[in-house]
Chains A and B, each alone.
Chain A
Amino acid sequence: MTADNLAASSARPTDRAVSLESSSPRYAEKAIFAFLAFCGILSVGVTTAIVVSLLMPTIDFFRQVTVEQFFLDTVWAPRQATGRFGVWPVVVGTLNIVVWALAVAIPVGLASAIYLSEYASHRTRRIIKPILEVLAGIPTVAIGLFAFFALNPAARMAFPFLDWSGIFSVGVAGVAVGLMTVPLVASISDDAMRAVPRSLREGAYGLGANKLKVSLRVVFPAAISGITASIVLAGSRAVGETMVVYIAAGRTPNLTFDPTQSVQTMTAYIAGTATGDIPTGTLDYDTIFAVGTLLFVMTLVLNIFAIRLVRRFREAYD
C-alpha cells in the first residue's frame, strides 16, 4: 500500500462500514430506465418516419415532374391525362385561408387576451378562460359544417352585392378557421402578458398612466414576443387545417384572392386525393407526398420560429 492510498482510505473511514452503493444490481430499475428512454426516443422516431415517408415518394415525384413545372407553372390539374403540376393555385388557396383566419384571430384573440390579462377580475377570468378552452376542443368537422351550412348563407345575406357564384367560399372557410384559432391566440398571449412583472405596470401607473396606456404601451410591447408567437402558431394551424377548408372552401384549384370563390388548399388536395385506395407508386400517389412535403416544411418553419419566440419571453422575466 502506498502512502497515497493509505491517506485516501483513512480520510473516508466509513467507506468500509456502510456502503452508499446499491446493495443489488437493480436490473428492474435499469429495465424501467430503458423503457422510459425508449418512449422518449420514439418521438424522434416518429419525426424520422414522417420525413422518410414524405421524402421517398417526393423524390419519385420529382423524377417525373421537373422542379420548374412544380414551382413555375400556375395550373394545378394533376389528375388529368396531360397533367399540369403548378403548385401555386393550392398554395395561394392555403394563403387565402391563412389571411382570413388571421384577420379574425388576431383582433378577437388579442382583445380576449388583453381583457383576460388586464381588465377581467379573478372571478371572471376563472369562468371565461375554461369556456374559451372548450371552444378550442370543438371537432373541426363540426366547425366545417357550421361554416358551410350556417356561416355561408349568413354571409350571402349580409353581403348580397358580392358575386357569390358557387356554393363554396374561401372567405367564410377562413373566418371559421380564424374562430377556431382564437383560443390559441388568446391563451398564449394571455400567458405572455401575465408574465410581465407587476412592477412594470405599477411603475407606469405611478407615472400617471391610465389602464389603456398601461395595457397598450407597457404590457403589450413587453409581451410582444409571446404575442407574435401566438399569431405565428395560429397561422401554422390555419396552414394545416383540413376538415374546415375541405368542407367549406371547396375542391377546385383556383388562383384567386376573391373571398367568395371556391379554392383548393394543399390540405384539401391531400384529403380529396388520398381518400380511396390509390395504388402505390403511381404519379397520383407521389403527388400527394410532394404536396405533403411542402406543407410539412411550411408548418415546420413557422413552428420553429414560434418556439424560439416563446423561449425568449419565458427567459426574459424568469
Chain B
Amino acid sequence: MAGSPMMPTTGRTQLAASGARAVTARSLQASSRGDQVRGAFFLSLLLLGIGIALLSLAAIIIWSLVEGLPRLDTSLITNGPSSVRPQEAGFRTALIGSIMVVGGVIGLVVPVGVGAAIYLEEYADRERWWNRLIELNIQNLAGVPSIVFGILGLAFIVRGPLSLGFVAAAGSLTLTLLVLPTVIIAAREAIRAVPPSIREGSLALGATRWQTVRRQVLPAALPGVLTGIILAVARATGEAAPLLLVGAVTFVTSNPSFFEGAYSTLPVQIFNYSNRPQADFRVLAMAGVILMLGLVLAMNAFAVWLRNRFEQSW
C-alpha cells in the first residue's frame, strides 16, 4: 500500500475507507430515522423558545424607539412637565427626582449591603441560629413584591416612626430597602468566591481580620460586588410601583429637593403621561421610555460585561 502511491489505488482506498466509515458510523450511532426526526423537531422547539425570548426583547426596544422617536429631542430633558401642552412637556423635574432618589439609594445601599455581606461571609458563625435567621430572612426579602415595600414605606417612612412625609428622601429609603437584598446576595457570592488561602496568608502575616477584609478580600471581590451594586441601581432607576405609594405620583413643575416638597421620578412620570388620553402624551411617554431604557439597559449591560470581564477562577 505504502509503496504504490498511484492515483487509481488511492482513489479506490479512499472510497473503501469512506464506505467503511459510513458503515461503522451507522452501526455505532444506530439512530433510526424516527429518532433523527424527533431530535430535529425537539431542537427546533428549543430554538423557537429562545427565539421568542430574544424576539420579545428586540420587539420592546424597537417598538419604543419607533413610538417615541418623534419627541426624542433636548426639550425632553430640559422642559418641565405640563398637563396641557404635551408637545412641549418634558421630564426635567422627574429626571432630577430620579437622580436624587437613586443617589440616595447608592449612598445607603453600598455601605449597608456590602457591610451585611461581609458580616455574613467573614464574621458570622454559621452554626448560630441568629446568623441562619439573617440568611433565610435576606433570601425571603429578595422575593417580597415591590409594592409591599411601598406599603412599608407608606406606613413606616412617610408616616409612622420616621414620618418623613411624601418627599424624595422617603422614596430613596423605600427603594434602598427594596434593592438591599440584591446587593447583599451578589456581594456575598463575590466574597465567597475569594479562596480561603488568601485570607489565611494575610492573617498568618499578622494582619487583623478587618485588615484582611479591607486589603485582600474586598479588592479581590470588587468586580462581583460592583456588578451587584450596578444591577441594584438599575432596578431602582426603573422601579415605579413602590414609589406610587410614597408620593411620587404628584405632578411636579418645579425642581424637587431631597427633604421637602413633592417629587416624581422618570418611570412614575412616564406612567403618569401614558395615563392621559391624548395621543401626544403617549408619544411623550414613549420618548421617556427610550430615555429610561437607555439608562437602565446601559447600566445592566455594563454590569454584565464587568462580571464576565473580571470573572476569575482561582
- Name A's B-contacting residues (CB within 8 A): 22, 26, 28-29, 32-33, 35-44, 46-47, 49-50, 53-54, 56-57, 107-112, 114-116, 119, 126, 128, 130-135, 137-146, 148-150, 179, 182-183, 186, 208, 210-212, 215-216, 233, 236-237, 239-243, 246-247, 267, 270-271, 274-277, 280, 288-289, 292, 295-296, 299-300, 302-304, 306-307
Instruction: Please provide the 5 A-B residue pairs with the shortest distance between their CB atoms, ordered closest to farther.
Output: A111-B49, A240-B145, A139-B238, A39-B115, A242-B241
Chain B residue numbers with a CB within 8 Å of A46 are 141, 152, 177, 180
| B42 lies within 8 A of A212 (CB) | yes
Contact bitstring B213-255, A, C-beta under 8 A = 1, else 0:
0000000000000000001001101111100110001000000
| A236 lies within 8 A of B143 (CB) | yes
| B267 lies within 8 A of A139 (CB) | yes
Judge if B8 is at the interface, Cβ distance under 8 Å: no
With A36-B116, A142-B60 known to touch, is A210 a contact of B35 (CB < 8 Å)?
yes
Bound: A150/B63 CA distance, A: 8
Judge if B257 is at the interface, Cβ distance under 8 Å: no
- Name B's A-contacting residues (CB within 8 A): 30-31, 35, 38-39, 42-43, 45-50, 52-54, 56-57, 59-60, 63-64, 67, 111-113, 115-116, 118-120, 122-124, 131, 133-134, 136-141, 143-152, 154-156, 159-160, 166, 177, 180-181, 184, 208-210, 231, 234-235, 237-241, 244-245, 249, 267, 270-271, 274, 282, 285-286, 289, 292-293, 296-297, 299-301, 304-305, 308
Tell me which of A39, A148, A247 contacts B111 (CB under 8 A): A39
| A50 lies within 8 A of B144 (CB) | yes
Q: How far is the CB of A204 from chain B (nearest CB, A)?
A: 14
Tell me which of B133, B148, B237, B286 contacts A50 (CB under 8 A): B148
Chain A residue numbers with a CB within 8 Å of B239 are 139-140
Q: How far is the CB of A244 from chain B (nearest CB, A)?
A: 10
Tell me which of B140, B145, B244 contacts A239 (CB under 8 A): B145
Bound: A111/B297 CA distance, A: 25
Bound: A307/B141 CA distance, A: 12
| B46 lies within 8 A of A115 (CB) | yes
| B54 lies within 8 A of A57 (CB) | no
With A43-B181, A140-B238, A270-B245 known to touch, is A288 a contact of B292 (CB < 8 Å)?
no
Bound: A22/B116 CA distance, A: 25
Chain A residue numbers with a CB within 8 Å of B67 are 149
Bound: A270/B257 CA distance, A: 27
Chain B residue numbers with a CB within 8 Å of A50 are 144, 148-149, 151-152
Q: How far is the CB of A201 from chain B (nearest CB, A)?
A: 15
Bound: A182/B285 CA distance, A: 26
Chain B residue numbers with a CB within 8 Å of A44 are 133-134, 137
